[in-house]
Amino acid sequence: MKILEYVQGLVADKEFEQAICNYTGAKYCVAVNSATSALHIAMLASGVKKGDEVISVASGFPTTINPIIQQGLTPVFVDCEIGTYNIDAEKIEEAITNKTKAIFLAHTLGNSFDLDKITALAEKYNLWILEDSCDALGGEYKGKKLGTVGHIGTYSFYPAHHMTMGEGGAIITNNLELYKIIKSFRDWGRDCW
Positions marked active-site: 161
CB neighbours of 135 closer than 8 A, spacing ≥ 6? 106, 107, 108, 109, 110, 156, 161, 162
**Rounded-to-integer distance, Cα 68 and Cα 17, Å:** 26
Radius of gyration of the chain (CA): 16
Q: Which amino acid is at 104?
A: F
Tell me the angle at which helices 35-45 and 62-70 cross, rounded to the nearest 10 degrees. Answer: 40
